[in-house]
């Protein structure tokens, strides 16, 4: 029953119409949606099978010229975000093909990028005057604002998974980009220079990253990462949620490789299963070796080598390896931690 002081819906609507012209809105109508009791992630868990992706990627090789190689990328688009070039709420991911003799012209942008290499015999990336050769499983990062170009002097296709923080940059609407006049940047340093300076367990006397808050190492070779992962198994037990796990680190502060994106590598030996876990970061998984069952909120995904999966934040998941398996992950955890909003929960 409406008391004499209770406004009717019509009275409320009349009031709202007075707010419209002066660009005001009633918080009480939207409060629940604005401040949810817990994350309500819009993305859905989704897996892309390499057996299906690769033929389509190779078909794209005939459709685009070498000059267009920079854009020869198939975007992993979360079914929840059709047309938005997002694999999950905050990250872009794609799969890129470079054919022998091609160059992806040098350019720079505010978005930071990482590449996880799936196939490469002679592919390379140049960053800030230094070239790094890309091998299967290597992680190569291109820090925000640095000129980078890719090329391929070897044989067969070069294929990698791209991860970029484009949706984050675009959320802040702070993105810049530019092309270099030349296709390839001038190389001013010998290959391996940045690893020698920052990646051998030694550091310069006055260490300073040329890339600001991004790691000064832009290539993390798989051979070394894998060797380290397998070595720790001999001395300690696995992490209950990740198996044997190491993060890709910025050697200057021990933090994540990039201010927006985190990356880590996980090893699950044959038949190993993990306990239920969830965290607020939005993750992407690439199977580097082996095969794994991912149970995410009761939905089962069977993944093999080179398969890619979107793991939305705050959804319970566990992994079960069918054989010795290495998993590569990246996520927006780095950004969430810096903003003080990251949270995890495990059983
Ligand atoms: Fe780029």
What does the pLDDT look like over 58-107, one tens digit per residue?
999 888 876 776 788 999 999 999 999 999 999 999 999 999 999 888 99
Ligand 1 centre to CA of 216 (Å) is: 18
pLDDT at 139: 98
pLDDT at position 210, please?
92
For residue 249, the CA-to-ligand 1 centroid distance in Å is 22
What separation in Å is there between the alpha carbon of 85 and the centre of ligand 1?
15
Cβ distance 138 to 221 under 8 Å? yes
**What confidence score (pLDDT) does residue 181 get?**
87
Ligand 1 centre to CA of 109 (Å) is 7
C-alpha 62 to ligand 1 mean position (Å): 22
Q: What is the rounded (10 degree) CA torsion for 126, 132, 134, 137?
A: -110
Give the pLDDT confidence score for residue 3 in this predicted structure.
Answer: 53
- The alpha carbon of 40 and the centre of ligand 1 are apart by a number of angstroms equal to 31
Among 225, 271, 261, CA closest to 246: 225
pTM for the predicted model, two decimal places: 0.95
100 CA from centroid of ligand 1 (Å): 19
pLDDT of residue 231: 95
Q: How far is the CA of 152 from the centre of ligand 1 (A)?
A: 16
Mean pLDDT per 10-residue section of the chain, whose length is 347 residues: 73 94 94 88 96 96 79 94 97 96 91 98 95 98 95 94 98 96 90 96 93 95 96 94 98 97 98 98 98 97 98 98 98 98 97
Q: 329 burial class (0-12, 13-18, 19+ CB within 10 angstroms)?
A: buried
Token pair for residue 307?
């398969």
């Amino acid at each position: 029953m409406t008391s004499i002081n209770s406004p009717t819906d019509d009275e409320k609507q009349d009031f709202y119409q007075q707010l419209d012209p002066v660009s005001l809105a009633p918080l009480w109508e939207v409060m629940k949606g604005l401040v949810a009791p817990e994350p309500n992630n819009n993305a859905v868990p989704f897996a892309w099978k390499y057996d299906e992706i690769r033929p389509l990627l190779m078909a794209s090789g005939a459709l685009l010229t070498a000059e267009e190689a920079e854009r020869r990328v198939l975007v992993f688009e979360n079914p929840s975000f059709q047309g938005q070039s997002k694999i999950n709420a905050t990250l872009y991911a794609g799969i890129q093909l470079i054919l022998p003799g091609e160059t992806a012209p040098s350019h720079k942008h505010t978005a930071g990028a990482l590449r996880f290499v799936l196939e490469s015999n002679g592919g390379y990336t140049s960053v800030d005057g230094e070239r790094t050769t890309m091998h299967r499983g290597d992680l190569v990062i291109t820090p925000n604002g640095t000129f980078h170009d890719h090329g391929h002097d070897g044989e067969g296709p070069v294929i990698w998974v791209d991860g970029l923080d484009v949706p984050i940059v675009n959320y802040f609407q702070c993105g810049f980009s530019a092309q270099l006049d030349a296709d390839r940047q001038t190389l001013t340093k010998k290959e391996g220079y940045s690893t020698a300076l920052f990646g051998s367990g030694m550091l310069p006397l006055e260490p300073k990253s040329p890339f600001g808050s991004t790691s000064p190492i832009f290539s993390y070779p798989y051979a070394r990462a894998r060797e380290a992962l397998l070595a720790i198994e001999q001395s300690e037990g696995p992490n209950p949620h990740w198996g044997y796990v190491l993060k890709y680190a910025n050697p200057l502060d021990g933090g994540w490789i990039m201010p927006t994106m985190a990356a880590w590598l996980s090893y699950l030996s044959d038949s190993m299963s993990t306990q239920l876990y969830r965290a607020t970061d939005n993750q992407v998984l690439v199977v580097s070796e082996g095969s794994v069952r991912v149970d995410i909120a009761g939905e089962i995904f069977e993944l093999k080598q080179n398969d890619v999966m979107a793991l939305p934040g705050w959804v319970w998941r566990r992994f079960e390896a069918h054989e010795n398996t290495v998993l590569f992950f990246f996520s927006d955890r780095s950004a969430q931690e810096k903003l003080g909003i990251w949270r995890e929960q495990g059983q």
